[in-house]
């Protein structure tokens, strides 16, 4: 059919405008801002002074930023390993003929549709509560009196408690991605391997896993994007002030630029905030680039 | 799902460990939600007593009244309903036509436009929030409802275009050819003939958009800092903060229930669509 120029313009321009205003222009401006000394966000551009890599130096020498980077690296690595492992086990288990497959799958995904604020509240004020909480009652019931006394949201365990609560909700999403990958594997491969006498474990490592490369890539990229946007859980677990255990770069940026919770911080540094934004963007790009290599080497294409 | 298993019974025995962990996980999810629902009818004093769910003082429906009126959940809830519905309608108007022309017409810049939209799926909020805030504060649009709707809409447009792309691609070209012969304008053809044909995909993507906008937190935190314009996610955070100090835990859990109920009910009825939608998206990605 002939392209109709007028129609293309009318149909495409509103969407492009949304993209330009909300994504493209702000991204470019954040990039530029990260090389300038900018105090407040509403300061006029004429007050900006060139800083070179000054903002990047500032943040990488800042103890709180270092801590926040450490935290999200731990979230990415430990949380990522845990979530990927559990969701892969669930996906493989559910697709190998479990009864109630659809029901289990739906319930495991459920936390993803509930507001993170509501989920975090359930964890903090119920599961981790030291008087009537789930862990307290559960451990006390089985006689682990000492373990039942643990203050899960106390400073000693705050980070791991937050990570567990966060990961619990993420498993469902990544499990669904794995399931969709597994369901695409042609049944004939498994049948042929079975006739040749391959057992479950061999079939998993020699058929399922090689076929899941693309799926693993999707999962890693998505996990990185989610980790970079880590904010609500940190704020929920330390609502009053930034704390070493829960701070993520986005929480720190919010504090630095919007001067959120602490009255002690009167100086705002938007240039440094922008630099944090760029560092986060670079992390997504690295994850994207590295996982592309993983798939390019792939000789089995579905 | 027993495609490649010869003996079902033997297979089920092998799957017992998988059953145990999956059932434990599912049970925990149920306990979590059921407990919060029960607690929302209870009182702080009962929660800390030994007989917490005996409901000796009856069901405390007033927790909901307190949350709804005193804690202003009604305002947040109505705001969120309005933002979500208006944004969803705007997304349909803006994203589906774009997706249609990108999937069906070859023209200069088509691939570029597609790549631009796809790239935005990887741009984190932290990259865009600061310049948006400067522009918004210069235009004096902070705490403006229409600004929030514009932001929610624009954030979801690229995803919706991307999601709807295959739906349009799979439609036969004969529809447009027949419409052209009958003298229907291209734009009219789109809204009258093509648009109704993509309903199944559209419903799925709109459920995602509904859930995403309902639960959106960061943008709302920055751009809506007045009670009267706050949506539920940010409102809930503020309520929890205030109830933590007043010690009204029953009311706190009641507000949690009110906030998660809409998306929860949606999921109860439409979980199959939602799950198929994610699966379809994953294959493309």
- Residue-number span of the structural domain to which B79 is assigned: 71-284
Q: Considering only the beta carbons, identify the residue of A115, A132, A277 that sits closest to B260.
A: A115
A233-264 tens-digit pLDDT: 999 998 888 888 899 999 999 988 887 555 55
Asked if the Cβ–Cβ distance from A273 to B256 is below 8 Å, we say no
Residue A302: which pLDDT band, with cuts at 50, 70 and 90? very low
For residue B152, give both structure tokens.
């929610």
Per the structure, how many domains does chain B have?
2
Can you say whether residue B71 is alpha, beta or left, with left for phi > 0 and alpha for psi between -120 and 50 degrees? alpha
B62, B85, B105 - which closes a domain: B62
Q: Which residues 50-79 on chain A approach chain B with CB closer than 8 angstroms? A: none
Rounded to a whole number of angstroms, the distance from the CA of B71 to the nearest CA of chain A is: 16
B180-227 tens-digit pLDDT: 888 888 888 899 999 999 988 899 999 999 999 999 999 999 999 888
Radius of gyration of chain B (CA): 24
**In sequence order, what are the residues at sequence separation of 6 or more whose Cβ sits closer than 8 angstroms to the Cβ of residue B27?**
none
Same structural domain, B51 and B103: no
A39-76 tens-digit pLDDT: 888 777 888 889 889 999 999 999 999 999 999 999 99
Q: Considering only the beta carbons, identify the residue of A8, A10, A253 that sits closest to B126.
A: A253
Asked if B246 contacts A98 with a C-beta cutoff of 8 angstroms, the reply is: no
| pLDDT at residue A79 in the model | 96
| pLDDT at residue B187 in the model | 87
User: What 3 state SS string does B57-69 have?
Assistant: CCCCCHHHHHHHH
Same structural domain, B22 and B115: no
Rounded to a whole number of angstroms, the distance from the CA of B2 to the nearest CA of chain A is: 5
* Alpha-carbon span A187 to A183, nearest angstrom: 9
CA B191 to chain centre: 25
Across the A/B interface, how many CB contacts are shorter than 8 Å? Answer: 293
Residue A109: which pLDDT band, with cuts at 50, 70 and 90? very high
Mean pLDDT over all residues of chain A? 88
Residue A299: which pLDDT band, with cuts at 50, 70 and 90? very low
Question: What percent of chain A stands above pLDDT 70?
Answer: 94
Same structural domain, B38 and B129: no
- Statement: residue B285 has pLDDT above 50: no
Q: Is B176 on the interface with A (CB under 8 A)?
A: yes
For residue B254, give both structure tokens.
């009641």
A219-234 tens-digit pLDDT: 999 999 999 999 999 9
Asked if B149 contacts B87 with a C-beta cutoff of 8 angstroms, the reply is: yes
Same structural domain, B103 and B187: yes
* Average pLDDT value for residue range B115-127: 92
Residue A301: which pLDDT band, with cuts at 50, 70 and 90? very low
Same structural domain, B15 and B96: no
Asked if the Cβ–Cβ distance from B176 to A187 is below 8 Å, we say no
Asked if B262 contacts B214 with a C-beta cutoff of 8 angstroms, the reply is: yes
- Statement: residue A147 has pLDDT above 80: no
The listed CATH number (3.40.50.1820, 1.10.10.60, 1.10.3720.10, 1.10.10.10) that belongs to domain A64-71+78-296: 1.10.3720.10
Stronger pLDDT, A134 or B247, i.e. the higher one: A134
The enclosing domain of B273 has a CATH number of 1.10.3720.10
B253-279 tens-digit pLDDT: 999 999 999 999 999 998 888 888 887
Same structural domain, B209 and B268: yes
Rounded to a whole number of angstroms, the distance from the CA of B273 to the nearest CA of chain A is: 11
What's the complex ipTM? 0.88
| pLDDT at residue B272 in the model | 87
Same structural domain, B44 and B166: no
Same structural domain, B129 and B110: yes
| pLDDT at residue A264 in the model | 55
Q: Which helix (H) or strand (E) holds A117?
A: helix A116-122
Same structural domain, B94 and B129: yes
Burial class (CB in 10 A: 0-12, 13-18, 19+), B206: middle
Stronger pLDDT, A73 or A99, i.e. the higher one: A73
Is B126 within a domain? yes
| pLDDT at residue A297 in the model | 56
Is B56 within a domain? yes
Stronger pLDDT, B43 or B191, i.e. the higher one: B191
Residue B5: which pLDDT band, with cuts at 50, 70 and 90? very low
Same structural domain, B190 and B139: yes
- Statement: residue A1 has pLDDT above 80: no
Rounded to a whole number of angstroms, the distance from the CA of A185 to the nearest CA of chain B is: 12
A155-181 tens-digit pLDDT: 888 999 999 999 999 999 999 999 988
B62, B91, B107 - which closes a domain: B62
Q: A121, A216, A258: best mutation site toward chain B, by most B Cβ within 10 Å?
A: A121
* Average pLDDT value for residue range A276-296: 89
* Average pLDDT value for residue range A196-215: 84
Q: Is A142 on the interface with B (CB under 8 A)?
A: no
Is B1 within a domain? no
């Amino acid at each position: 059919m002939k392209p109709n120029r007028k129609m293309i313009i009318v149909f495409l321009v509103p969407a492009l405008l949304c993209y330009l205003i909300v994504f493209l222009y702000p991204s470019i401006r954040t990039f530029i801002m990260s090389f300038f000394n900018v105090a407040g966000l509403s300061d006029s551009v004429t007050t900006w002074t060139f800083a070179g890599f000054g903002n990047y130096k500032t943040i990488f020498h800042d103890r709180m930023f270092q801590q926040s980077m450490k935290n999200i690296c731990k979230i990415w690595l430990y949380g990522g390993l845990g979530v990927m492992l559990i969701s892969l086990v669930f996906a493989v288990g559910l697709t190998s003929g479990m009864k109630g497959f659809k029901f289990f799958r739906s319930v495991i995904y459920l936390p993803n549709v509930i507001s993170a604020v509501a989920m975090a509240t359930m964890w903090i004020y119920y599961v981790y509560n030291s008087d009537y909480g789930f862990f307290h009652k559960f451990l006390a019931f089985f006689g682990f009196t000492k373990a039942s006394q643990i203050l899960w949201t106390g400073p000693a365990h705050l980070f791991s408690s937050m990570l567990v609560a966060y990961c619990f909700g993420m498993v469902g999403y990544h499990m669904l991605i794995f399931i969709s990958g597994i369901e695409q594997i042609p049944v004939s491969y498994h049948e042929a391997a079975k006739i040749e006498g391959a057992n479950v474990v061999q079939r998993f490592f020699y058929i399922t896993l090689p076929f899941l490369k693309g799926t693993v890539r999707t999962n890693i990229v998505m996990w990185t994007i989610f980790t970079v946007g880590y904010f609500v859980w940190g704020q929920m677990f330390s609502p009053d002030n930034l704390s070493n255990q829960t701070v993520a770069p986005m929480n720190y940026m919010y504090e630095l630029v919007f001067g959120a919770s602490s009255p002690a911080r009167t100086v705002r540094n938007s240039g440094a905030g922008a630099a944090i934004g760029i560092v986060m963007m670079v992390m997504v790009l690295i994850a994207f680039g590295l996982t592309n290599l993983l798939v390019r080497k792939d000789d089995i294409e579905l | 799902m027993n495609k490649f298993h010869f003996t079902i019974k033997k297979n089920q025995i092998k799957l017992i460990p998988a059953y145990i962990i999956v059932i434990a996980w599912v049970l925990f999810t149920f306990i979590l939600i059921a407990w919060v629902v029960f607690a929302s009818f209870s009182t702080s004093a009962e929660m800390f007593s030994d007989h917490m769910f005996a409901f000796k003082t009856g069901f405390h429906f007033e927790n909901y009244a307190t949350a709804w009126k005193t804690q202003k959940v009604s305002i947040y809830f109505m705001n969120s309903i309005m933002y979500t519905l208006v944004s969803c309608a705007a997304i349909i108007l803006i994203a589906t036509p774009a997706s249609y022309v990108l999937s069906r017409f070859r023209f200069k810049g088509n691939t570029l436009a597609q790549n631009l939209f796809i790239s935005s799926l990887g741009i984190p909020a932290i990259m865009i929030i600061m310049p948006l805030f400067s522009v918004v504060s210069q235009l004096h649009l902070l705490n403006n409802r229409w600004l929030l709707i514009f932001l929610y809409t624009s954030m979801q447009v690229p995803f919706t275009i991307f999601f709807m792309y295959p739906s349009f691609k799979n439609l036969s070209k004969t529809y447009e050819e027949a419409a052209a012969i009958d003298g229907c304008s291209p734009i009219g053809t789109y809204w009258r003939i093509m648009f109704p044909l993509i309903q199944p995909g559209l419903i799925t993507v709109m459920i995602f958009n509904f859930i995403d906008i309902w639960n959106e937190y960061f943008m709302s935190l920055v751009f809506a800092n007045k009670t009267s314009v706050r949506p539920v996610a940010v409102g809930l955070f503020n309520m929890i903060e205030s109830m933590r100090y007043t010690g009204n835990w029953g009311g706190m859990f009641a507000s949690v229930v009110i906030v998660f109920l809409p998306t929860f009910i949606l999921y109860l009825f439409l979980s199959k669509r939602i799950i198929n939608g994610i699966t379809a998206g994953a294959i493309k990605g």
